[in-house]
Structure formats: C-alpha cells, structure tokens
Structure 1
Amino acid sequence: MELIVWVDNWQMQCCGDPFSIGSRVSWKLIDADKEWLADVVGAHVADRIDGAEEHHGGSADDAITEGTVTGISAVHCRYAPRPGSADRTRCPVPGSGTRTALTSADGWTPDHGELQFAGYLVELTGVRG
C-alpha cells in the first residue's frame, strides 16, 4: 500500500523527528484539509493526498500508520490577504505553490524569497496501520 502524506512545517518544527528517503516512520494521520491544500499545491495534487501527519489532535486511541519514506517534496507558496476581503489574515495564494524534491526533512527548510515554506509532501510505501 502507498500513501501521500502532508506534514505541516509547524508540526515538524514543534514535535517532529527528522526523516529521510528510506526512513521507516510511525505517524498518526488525520484527514487532510484538502480545501486549504488545493490553494497551496493545486486541486489535482491535493486530491491525491491521503492524510496529514498530526501530533496535537485526535485521541489516544488513534491508530498509528507506519511506512517507508520513498519521496519528499518541500512545498513553498506565497501568502497574502484574500482579494476583496476586509479580513487581513494571510492565506496561501492559489497557483503560487512550488515543490522541490529533497532527500531529507527536518522542518526547517528555508523560504525561497517571497515563497514561504509551508510543509512537506511525503510518499510512503509498505504502509501498515
């Protein structure tokens, strides 16, 4: 079984363990926020994401998913207030997302100019759980 998992930058920075291609990981997965992710990575990619790694929510009974990391992409995007909105909350700018293949992840991937690091797309194989 194969999965594509979203890992938020802040989740990794707070509580995550670094991983690399070939690492065996054990993660609690929740449903990914595909609406938000569609703005970050595009709807086509967001639809393929199977879950999001989570350290802070859920319950103690949540199952752990184990798998071997076979791909890692750092995701960067621009953030800005939504056009025409009085709310000044900065949101991902649709269509601004980029992906960069990596061999390892520690949560501290640098920004690329105005493109801010948002998180990782991680491909897992040999999934159990």
Structure 2
Amino acid sequence: MMIEVELREWEQQCCGDPFRIGSAVTWKLVARDPDEDGDRPMPGYWEEHHDQTPENVPHLPVTGTVRSAQALHYAFDEGPNPGELTVRPGSEVAVDLDAVPGAGTQLAGCTREHEVLAYRVQLEVAVGAELPAYVADDQDDWFEQD
C-alpha cells in the first residue's frame, strides 16, 4: 500500500537520516487533515521527530520503503514587516530526487527568495500496517515551524 509522507526540511536538516529511493525507513507519522489534502490520490502524513505532537494526537512509528522523493521549492515575497518573507501562494515547484540529504546538509540552489521547505515521499508500507488516524487538535499551528 502506498502513502504520501511530507518531511519538513528544517527537521530533516536538523536531525534526519539521509535516504534514497529504495531505502527502508521507519518514521514517526502524524495523519494530515484529510480536508486539506484535496484530491491527492493517497493518504497523507507528516513525519515528526521533535516530539511536538500533542499527546491526544496519534503519532506512530511506521516502516516502509521509499518509492519516490521530491523536494518542494517555494518562492517568497516581502512580508508586512521589514526583512520578513512570506510564501508566495501557488509557488510550489516539486523537483524529483534520487536521494534526500540528512542532518547538517542542504540541497544546492536554495536562496533566501526561493528554497526547499519540505520533501514529499511516496512510501510503500505493508498492507494492514498500523497507521495513525487523523485527530483534530485545538492548538493552533502546533505542527508548524516558528
């Protein structure tokens, strides 16, 4: 069974292990809000390894094989405050990768105005694998980088 997992670039750069297509990985996953996934063809999850998930939100270790990986690049515009940048709506560009770097490394070609914010991975997991269910939480932005 295939699922889609997004890894935030800052977490991967901080303490993620490098991986490539064909790698076996075990990640702690949190289900994305299905209402925000729109027409995506497979269930969606976030990878989380900084223990930011509230206790009432299911987060489980899931093992699978990486079948594809993309770097998600975004463009930025000046924000309302001097020096502040905001993501330009509709600017996502997905670039296919053979491998994703681990802690302490970044993809080349990133600038302050255009950078990788996440990686999108198609992960093949066993049929019947235990996956976390989506649970809404009252906290705002607990899963976003400050």
TM-score (norm 2): 0.67
Structure 1: state its 5+ residue gaps: none
Please say if residues 73 and 120 of structure 1, whose CA atoms lie closer than 8 Å, have aligned partners that are also in contact: yes
- The answer as to 2:46 corresponding to 1:52 is yes
Find the partner of 1:90 among 67, 85, 89. Answer: 85
| Aligned residues with identical type, % of pairs | 30
| CA deviation after TM superposition for structure 1 residue 14, in Å | 0.9
The match for 1:126 is 125
When residues 78 and 33 of structure 1 are mapped into structure 2, their CA distance, relative to the original with a 3 A threshold, is: farther
C-alpha deviation, 1:81, in angstroms: 4.4
- What residue number does 1:9 align with? 9
Q: Which runs of 5+ in 2 are unaligned?
A: 131-146
Whose radius of gyration is greater, 1 or 2? 2
Residue 115 of structure 1 and its aligned partner are, at CA, apart by 2.1
Structure 1 residue 20 and structure 2 residue 20: aligned?
yes
Q: CA shift at 1:49, angstroms?
A: 5.9
What root-mean-square deviation, in Å, do the aligned CA atoms of Structure 1 and Structure 2 show? 3.0
Separation in structure 1 between the aligned mates of residue 117 and residue 34 of structure 2, nearest angstrom: 14
Contact 2:3–2:125, Cα closer than 8 Å, also in 1: no
| SS in structure 2 of the partner of residue 76 of structure 1 | strand
Q: Verify the 8 A CA contact 1:6 1:32 in the aligned structure 2.
A: no
- Asked if the contact 1:111–1:117 (Cα under 8 Å) also holds between the matched residues in 2, the reply is no
Distance 2:69 2:90 in 1: 20
1:45-124 equivalence runs, <5 A: 50-56=44-50, 57-58=52-53, 62-81=59-78, 86=80, 89-107=84-102, 108-112=106-110, 114-124=113-123
User: Which of the pair is proportionally richer in helix?
Assistant: 1
Find the residue that maps to 2:10 and give its secondary structure.
helix
**Whole-Å Cα distance in 1 between the matches of residues 85 and 117 of structure 2?**
13
Count of residues in correspondence between the two structures = 119
